[in-house]
Amino acid sequence: MPFTAKLIDDKRNPNMKHKTQPSATQMRAAVRLAEKELKIAAQILEWEIGDIWGHVGVRLPQDEGIAVQMFRRPESGKKDWLVHFDYELNKLGGVGTPPREAAIYTGIFKARPDVNAAVHAHAPMCVALSLADKAVSCVQMQSDRFGRGVPIYPKPIYILDAAEGADLARTLGQAVAVMIKGHGIVTVGKTIDEACMCALRMERAAKIMAIAQLFGFKGVSDEFIEQLSESKEKLFSRQRNTMTHSADWNYYADMIKKGKVWTRGWT
Ligand SMILES: [Zn+2]
């Protein structure tokens, strides 16, 4: 488990608590690591989704608040918009102000103790499908996490206060993502890597679905889902090296480090 997620879990689950609390140095290291990952995730998704108004957030160690990084680059001479705030949306530190839709994070993090990170983006193809009430679902190997379709939040609104954040979290339920009709998506994960890759895969799955539907695709059969999940189980039963991040994350993080961009799906 990544260090940040571990510190958060220790606080939430007393059974997992160490005999000693993490030191201030450990806490600072966890925050630095989380901020580094937020920056990478924001860069991956800004390019991949083409949305400068999206953001990515993570619980702070010990669940003392939330850190959110905007996708958009800072104005010249200014630092990245990376802000820390508490569950009442008071700024705790960092640069900028809590995003207008900060209630997405507070609502979901309160409702889902299993979730440590979330992404909000205005992913265009997901928005297109939401308008047609087509939920992003499992249509190929890399979209199996979406199962028979993620929930769609029916109101085309900004998520601006605690009531709307809680309402969105109720629609999300135990799913990995939710589509907000005519607005965008929210994806969640135990780690920043997981929430980020979920958003990347979701927009690509939406593009595949949209193209396939032009050719008459009406959705996959139960047999398709069964065969795919059996094959995936077989694949993962083979021994692999354990990695702290997904292979996808390592690939994109390396491209960013080298200052390169990659080919996006269908674009
Ligand atoms: Zn939004």
Which residues are in the CB-under-5-Å shell of ion ligand 1? 184
**What is the structure's pLDDT at 237?**
84
- CA pair distance 128, 123, nearest whole angstrom: 9
Query: What separation in Å is there between the alpha carbon of 223 and the centre of ligand 1?
Result: 36
Query: What separation in Å is there between the alpha carbon of 185 and the centre of ligand 1?
Result: 8
17 pLDDT higher than 70: no
**What is the structure's pLDDT at 79?**
83
- Which of 16-20, 145-149, 261-265 shows the lowest per-residue confidence on average (mean pLDDT)? 16-20
Tell me the CA distances in angstroms from 240 to 2, 87, 190, one per residue in order.
18, 39, 21
**What is the structure's pLDDT at 4?**
55
CATH code reported for the domain at 35-257: 3.40.225.10
Calculate what percentage of the chain has a pLDDT beyond 90: 75
Give residue 6's pLDDT band: very low, low, confident or very high (50, 70, 90): low
| Tokens encoding 256 | 């960013």
In this structure, are residues 56 and 102 in contact, taking their beta carbons and an 8 Å threshold? no
Tell me the CA distances in angstroms from 162 to 22, 57, 222, 265, one per residue in order.
31, 17, 38, 35
Query: What separation in Å is there between the alpha carbon of 216 and the centre of ligand 1?
Result: 31
CA angle, residues 201, 47, 177, in degrees to nearest 5: 30
Average pLDDT score over residue span 92-107: 95
Sheet of strand 184-189: strand arrangement: 91-94, 82-85, 66-70, 55-59, 117-121, 184-189, 177-180, 152-153
Domain locations in the chain as residue ranges: 35-257
Query: What separation in Å is there between the alpha carbon of 128 and the centre of ligand 1?
Result: 15
Query: What separation in Å is there between the alpha carbon of 159 and the centre of ligand 1?
Result: 7
**What is the structure's pLDDT at 108?**
98
Residue type at position 103: A
Partner residues linked to 152 by β-bridges: 179
3-state helix/strand/coil string of 125-153: HHHHHHHCCCCCCCCCHHHHHHCCCCCEE
Average pLDDT score over residue span 194-208: 97
pLDDT digits (tens, 9 = 90+) for 138-194: 999 999 999 999 999 999 999 999 999 999 999 999 999 999 999 999 999 999 999
Query: What separation in Å is there between the alpha carbon of 100 and the centre of ligand 1?
Result: 9
| Tokens encoding 221 | 């059969």
Average pLDDT score over residue span 20-27: 83
Query: What separation in Å is there between the alpha carbon of 120 and the centre of ligand 1?
Result: 7
Task: Look at residues 29, 9, 15 and name the one whose alpha carbon lies nearest to residue 190.
Answer: 9
Query: What separation in Å is there between the alpha carbon of 172 and the centre of ligand 1?
Result: 15
**What is the structure's pLDDT at 55?**
97
Query: What separation in Å is there between the alpha carbon of 235 and the centre of ligand 1?
Result: 37
